Amino acid sequence: MKFHYILLINQVSGNGNGKKTGEIIQNLLNEQHMSYESHYTEYAGHEAKIVEELALSKLVGWNDEIKAAYEDKIYPLLVVIGGDGTLHQVLNQFYRMNKEFPVSYIPGGSGNDFARGIKLPKDPQKAFWAIQRAKEPQMVNTLTYDEKIQNEKGLVINNVGIGLDAAIVAATNNSLTKKALNKYNLGSFAYIASIVKVLFTQKGFSILLEVNGEEHTFKKAFLCTTTNHPYFGGGVAIAPMAKANEDNLDLVIVERISMIKILGLVLRLITNKLTTSKHYHHYSGHKLRIISTVPQYGQADGEVMGSRPFDITFATKSQLIWYYSD
């Protein structure tokens, strides 16, 4: 199948990494004499406006009939170039429009957890050829959420966290250290620095879970993260058992521990051994609900949701991602 590549480039993602990645892909397409067009974001949230217009004018869905119809035609394929936040904006716009389109993705952010979660190459050219080699898109699991208190709905490609990880995201996003480290593709170290800072200030909070029809209560939850693949924070494996191509939700709860044991918890997290802690709890299911009456920070794909109570229900939603997977 031949493609007309519709490039959506976020030039400011990853402290300019999106711009560099976009230029690499454009040069490659020119060298290969491949058909493409480019669209650039000019402000925060511009991705949504761009893809809304593309959805109504150029993009095409995917099913067996469309596949057969485009065997001898050029298929218009959207290529998102940017960070996790860029892809988050694109897929949320389709979700709001109730539209289904396959999407390809080339990571150009700082964390790039989604690419890591689906095992998409970090190198731009290798990521492109993983798209080119695919004969059809792959089904990848995403999360949808419905928060009753604020009447807020959305789609998530990585994870939603309440408590520690959200407080860390808030601290990291406001960190000058992150901006400096991003220049050297070391943004995850800023995340780890924020972990150390927030670990000593985050208090335990009560939380109620409903998973697979069963209730679970924690009086001193510390971290509560719902995810569809292992990673958050630029490569930290919070749920090593999670798989992006499986139709289920993974929920991780970590309980508050004494101050003297916190450094040990940090070491377990950095060395991907957090699951061995007796304070680590993992649940898996197709639908779950989290109720937290004590105001806590929340985050969705690295975007801070504010400090507030939560009554949030999660479900799964399939998304077609165009890439070759072994």
pLDDT, residue 265, reads 74
Q: Judge contact between 168 and 269, C-beta under 8 A.
A: no
pLDDT, residue 174, reads 61
d(CA 285, CA 302): 23
Nearest to 158 by CA among 83, 270, 211: 83
pLDDT, residue 199, reads 73
d(CA 205, CA 109): 32
pLDDT, residue 198, reads 79
pLDDT, residue 184, reads 44
pLDDT, residue 232, reads 84
Q: SS3 for 266?
A: helix
Q: Per the structure block, which two tokens stand in for 76?
A: 């218009």
**Domains contained in the chain, CATH given:** 2-136 (3.40.50.10330), 145-320 (2.60.200.40)
pLDDT, residue 192, reads 64
d(CA 211, CA 199): 27
pLDDT, residue 117, reads 94
Q: Per the structure block, which two tokens stand in for 150?
A: 């604020």
pLDDT, residue 186, reads 46
How many helices and strands (H and E) does the chain possess? 10, 15
pLDDT, residue 181, reads 46
d(CA 294, CA 77): 44
Q: Per the structure block, which two tokens stand in for 92?
A: 């949320």
d(CA 28, CA 216): 52
Q: What is the pLDDT of residues 184-211, one digit of tens each?
A: 454 555 566 666 677 778 889 999 999 9
Which positions of the chain have pLDDT values less than 50? Answer: 176-178, 180-184, 186
Give the list of residues 6+ apart from residue 301 with CB closer than 8 angstroms, or none. Answer: 84, 85, 88, 156, 157, 158, 159, 160
pLDDT, residue 15, reads 82
Q: SS3 for 301?
A: coil
d(CA 313, CA 308): 16
pLDDT, residue 190, reads 57
d(CA 16, CA 320): 27
> What pTM did the predictor assign?
0.89
pLDDT, residue 263, reads 73
According to DSSP, the residues that pair with 156 across neighbouring strands are 143
Q: Per the structure block, which two tokens stand in for 305?
A: 């949701």
d(CA 175, CA 194): 8
d(CA 274, CA 182): 26
Backbone angles phi, psi at 115, to 5 degrees: -60, -40
- Residue 281 half-sphere exposure, CB side, CA atoms within 13 Å? 16
- Residue 205 half-sphere exposure, CB side, CA atoms within 13 Å? 24
Q: SS3 for 324?
A: coil
